[in-house]
Amino acid sequence: MSNATLYPVPEEFARNALIDQDTYQRLYQASIDDPEQFWAEQAKRIDWMRPFKKVKQTSFDDHNVSIKWYLGGHLNVSANCLDRHLEQRSEQTAIIWEADEPGQARHITYRELHRDVCRFANALKHQGVAQGDVVTLYMPMIPEAAIAMLACSRIGAIHSVVFAGFSPEALAGRILDGRSNVVITADEGLRGGRSTPLKANVDEALTHADIKTVDKVIVVRHTGAEIPWHDHRDRDYAELMAEADDFCPPEPMDSEDPLFILYTSGSTGKPKGILHTTGGYLTYAALTHQYVFDYKDSEVFWCTADIGWITGHTYTIYGPLANGGTTVMFEGVPNYPDVTRMARVIDTHKINILYTAPTAIRAMMAMGDAAMAGADGSSLRLLGSVGEPINPEAWNWYYHTVGKGRCPIVDTWWQTETGATLMTPLPGATPLKPGSAACPFFGVQPALVDNEGNILQGAAEGNLVLLDSWPGQARSIFRDHERFVDTYFRTFKGTYFTGDGARRDEDGYYWITGRVDDVLNVSGHRMGTAEVESALVSHKDVAEAAVVGMPHDLKGQGIYVYVTLNDGIEASESLRQALRQWVRHEIGPIATPDVIQWAPGLPKTRSGKIMRRILRKIAVAEYDGLGDISTLADPGVVEHLINEHKSMT
Ligand code: 6R9
């Protein structure tokens, strides 16, 4: 694959690009040779209320993991995203909101956004929200979600956005873990013409989990649907806004004060509240947004990610707004009302930069050229991909059919924990190889290590680690620093372990090969096998469950489940359906199992550990090459599973 077709930077693009090849090399070298100097320089793009005293104080030593950037500096994120743009851009559109139904867009200027954020910040204060409080957002992709995030940052509250596709159970777990006392939601969410009862879900979460800590639920009337209402607790967003003052002073926050937590899946246990702080995150979000996307003034930037994920935080909200850009928030889905929706949005709003996920690209590609048929698409200048490895077929389709061969594609590799992009081509500097995330961004030091932790040189394949910190790095897991250290810094000592595997070719290009731990990537969404298993075993008929990933044409990975039923429970098609529904109910539709196989027993070591390696092979009918099964407690179960699998297909 290293001799894959090389796509040079288009000449026209290179001429106007912010960073060309020489500049990339020079700046990258400078960022490694003298990080303090490099990052001090970059921090000038942020307005500081008090200058920082020290750029960087970081340690990956597992006895003392500590990550601090821009120490002693004071700033406010919302002031950086709003106030400082008012002089030049008060009438420029900050957010273009594209509703689920076509033809209902809203344009919000910086002046309007600033006023609404101030009002809502005042409203939050009025409701008793104080600096350091955790505010949970369970919201659709509507401007009020952006307003709520920015309002939190304005007063120093910590937002915790929970994807609105998660179930009441999943929401409850996150509210409890964050010890949040305020939830912001909407009456309903709308996606692809279907509504989700968000307010009712919040009520269910609070009742079922018997959560007593939440004393306020703020509700945006979005669809106007009838909703249950509890006077003592529920507040109407519009009423609060009408009463609130138009100005709220931005709180000077310490560079290392928390900005937000965001839950993500790991290989074990419950989702982790990844903690991001203020100064480093914002600097890194803004810098990457500008250089990775070659973002220029007055361009329209569309990141299709939901704010429930890190990509939505960094590249729908914070990066573009910190840079005074115009960002698009899309409430709907790419295939509603039909597969031409993305193309229509691109043409309607004259999108210059489109940043989306391989799963969306594959869904469009599955309809042949229909997705772009009749579309103009000439406003597009640059394309981006994120969330999972992009297969060369999808890459080529994206490049030729969407980008008409004019637009470079930046395949950006990063994680919730990294805050923003770590590896990517820079569009004016890096010749592209379809499927490769190419090179490290400024200041980023990737390395590949073998399973013993030895650093591999040259062309090699191994576990992907980072040797030193970058400003956007997560600082901790909320209220569980030990788990943070354990998860990321104990596997390969002295490094940050990403959980991903990667290959580096002769040209030094990186190719992400996927997770090497028990984390699945379904349509670009991270899911712990342990989470799905724990949902399954909470069903009354299930004794045990084991979950593995399987290749899936559209989703990248699908969910393959082995279930052992309790004694006396009969396997049946209706039970299979019931279990699928159960998992949807416990976690959300994105966790719905694709295949459920009955398993009277699971392959386990004598110490009781499930051998997922074997289960992964059986799921794809690779019955040979199961490896050594003699260490199993009961090797007989393997044959049984193979026979059952054969009978299913
Ligand atoms: C930003 C985001 C992180 C995991 C990551 C990796 C996979 C993300 C990728 C990619 C290959 C890319 N991933 N981008 N794999 N190429 N360009 O997606 O964060 O939801 O935390 O997922 O996604 O496996 O470890 P998050």
DSSP 43: G
Centre of ligand 1 from the C-alpha of residue 413, in Å: 6
Residue type, 506: E
Q: Which of 359, 413, 515 maximizes ligand 1 atoms within 8 Å of its Cβ, making it the mutation to test the pocket?
A: 413
Cα separation of the two ends of the chain = 32
**What pLDDT score does 627 carry?**
81
Average pLDDT (402-425) is 97
Tokens representing 255? 């560079």
Q: Regarding predicted confidence, which is higher, 343 or 649?
A: 343
Q: What is the mean pLDDT of residues 295-306?
A: 97
SS3 of residue 106 by DSSP: strand
Structural contact between residues 261 and 178, judged by C-beta atoms closer than 8 angstroms: yes
What span, in angstroms and rounded, lies between the C-alpha atoms of 614 and 627? 8
Q: Which of 263, 284, 415, 522 to mutate to test the pocket of ligand 1 (most atoms within 8 A of CB)?
A: 415
Report the pocket of ligand 1 as residue ranges, CB < 6 Å.
Answer: 264, 309-311, 386-389, 411-416, 437, 498-500, 512, 514-515, 521, 526
Paired strand residues for 97: 106, 329
Structure tokens at 542: 């299930």
How is residue 118 annotated by DSSP? H
| CA 266 – ligand 1 centroid, Å | 13
How far apart are the CA of 422 and the centre of ligand 1, in A?
A: 10
As a whole number of angstroms, the distance between CA 445 and CA 32 comes to 8
pLDDT of residue 4: 67
**Main-chain dihedrals φ then ψ at residue 67, nearest 5 degrees:** -130, 115
Mean pLDDT of the chain: 96
**pLDDT (tens digit per residue) in 5-25:** 899 999 889 999 999 999 999
Q: Give 284's contacts (C-beta < 8 A, 6+ positions apart).
A: 419, 420, 470, 471, 472
SS3 556: strand
| Closest ligand 1 atom, residue 526 Cα | 20
Structure tokens belonging to residue 77: 């994120």
| Structure confidence by residue, pLDDT tens digits, 435-485 | 999 999 999 999 999 999 999 999 999 999 999 999 999 999 999 999 999
Q: Is pLDDT at 236 greater than 60 in this prediction?
A: yes
3-state secondary structure labels for all residues of 231-247: CCCEEEHHHHHHHCCCC
Taking the centre of ligand 1 as the mean of its atom positions, its distance from the CA of residue 514, in whole angstroms, is 8
pLDDT digits (tens, 9 = 90+) for 329-369: 999 999 999 999 999 999 999 999 999 999 999 989 988 88
Interface pTM, i.e. ipTM: 1.00
- Among 533, 500, 542, which residue's Cα sits nearest to residue 517? 500
Angle value at C-alpha 282, between 281 and 284, nearest 5 degrees:
65
For atom 8 of ligand 1, the residue with the nearest CA is 387
Inter-residue contact 205 to 217 (CB < 8 Å): no
- Per-residue model confidence as pLDDT tens digits over 90-119: 999 999 999 999 999 999 999 999 999 999
CA nearest neighbour of 580 among 597, 596, 558: 596
Question: C-alpha distances in angstroms, 370 versus 18, 121, 365, 435?
Answer: 34, 45, 8, 24
Tokens of 261: 């937590």
How many whole angstroms separate alpha carbon 209 and alpha carbon 177? 12
**pLDDT (mean) for 524-543:** 93
Which tokens go with 532? 């799905």
Ligand 1: which atom is nearest the Cα of residue 514?
24
